[in-house]
């Protein structure tokens, strides 16, 4: 697995950092300055708000890149002759790692190891998204979506409410480029945020959702209602992932509530 510092040298990670820098610069120093002016109280307020959103995006992105998503503890793999169980959920054997893996863990072909509560391998953070870094990942997606939509609103407002000299080809191309980037980011990251909000509130990973599609179909076919076994209710689901203290839900470095990632409570429904 690539070293933590080495991940920041990967092309996708550098591309994300560069894109955040580009959107921040154009939003603040081009469109907010052009529309409201940074010297005005309203312009300065938008500058402060947008700077905070951009800062939180970068901070949570860095944590998601650096933080280990979680590997199977050595102590878990010791008694391989008696596969452990987790409240009725049987652990499975990984042929590639030649050991048992905890429930909700999956083998990542890129990282070449089993990852605890693996959601997916994200090329944009050059890391797996799993038990240890899912919280900073979702906080990054949240702030990136808010920042993209915020940028799009500022861009559209500047274009509609200020006179621009579109006779210059360079200025016209610049505005078209910014518009495409901001609209594209808003739609893409906004959709990603919506998807992960659904997963958060149902205490599911992307892999578990794919596995549950057939189970849902079979349940409907037999006239039954499917219920995800780890779904404890919206508040408990959020607390498991974001932490018990709501004041720290949006802090990407507040990860003290995470345990070893090998056991999860299941619903009795």
Catalytic residues: 122
Q: How far is CA 161 from the centre of its chain?
A: 34
**Which residues make Cβ contacts (< 8 Å) with residue 4, sequence separation at least 6?**
65, 66
Distance CA 35, CA 150 (A): 14
Distance CA 115, CA 216 (A): 25
Token reading at 49: 């708000």
Q: What is the DSSP string of 48-82?
A: HHHHHHHHHHHHHHHHHHHS---B--HHHHS-TTS
**Which residues make Cβ contacts (< 8 Å) with residue 139, sequence separation at least 6?**
56, 60, 250, 251, 252
Alpha carbon distance, N-terminus to C-terminus of the chain = 39
Q: How far is CA 128 from the centre of its chain?
A: 11
For residues 111 and 1, the answer to whether their CB atoms sit within 8 Å is yes
Q: Alpha carbon of 101 to those of 18, 94, 104, 129, 169: distances in Å?
A: 37, 6, 8, 17, 59
If you search the block for the tokens 């901070």, which residue do you land on?
Answer: 59
Q: Which helix (H) or strand (E) holds 16?
A: helix 11-25
């Amino acid at each position: 697995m690539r070293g933590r510092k080495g991940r920041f040298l990967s092309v996708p990670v550098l591309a994300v950092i560069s894109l955040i820098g580009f959107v921040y610069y154009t939003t603040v120093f081009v469109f907010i300055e052009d529309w409201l002016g940074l010297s005005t109280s309203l312009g300065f307020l938008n500058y402060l708000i947008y700077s905070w959103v951009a800062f939180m995006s970068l901070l949570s992105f860095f944590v998601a890149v650096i933080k280990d998503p979680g590997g199977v503890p050595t102590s878990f793999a010791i008694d391989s002759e008696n596969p452990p169980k987790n409240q009725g959920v049987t652990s499975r054997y990984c042929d590639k790692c030649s050991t048992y893996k905890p429930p909700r863990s999956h083998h990542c072909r890129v990282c070449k190891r089993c990852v605890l509560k693996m959601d997916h391998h994200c090329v944009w953070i050059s890391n797996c998204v799993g038990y240890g870094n899912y919280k900073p990942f979702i906080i990054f997606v949240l702030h990136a979506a808010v920042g993209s939509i915020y940028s799009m609103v500022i861009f559209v407002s500047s274009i509609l409410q200020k006179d621009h000299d579109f006779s210059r080809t360079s200025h016209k191309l610049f505005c078209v480029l910014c518009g495409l980037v901001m609209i594209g980011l808003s739609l893409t990251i906004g959709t990603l945020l919506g998807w992960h909000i659904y997963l958060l509130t149902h205490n599911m990973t992307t892999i578990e959702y794919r596995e549950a599609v057939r189970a849902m179909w079979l349940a409907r076919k037999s006239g039954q209602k499917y219920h995800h076994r780890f779904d404890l209710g919206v508040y408990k689901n959020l607390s498991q992932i974001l932490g018990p203290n709501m004041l720290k839900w949006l802090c990407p470095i507040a990860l003290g509530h995470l345990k070893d990632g090998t056991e999860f409570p299941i619903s009795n429904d």
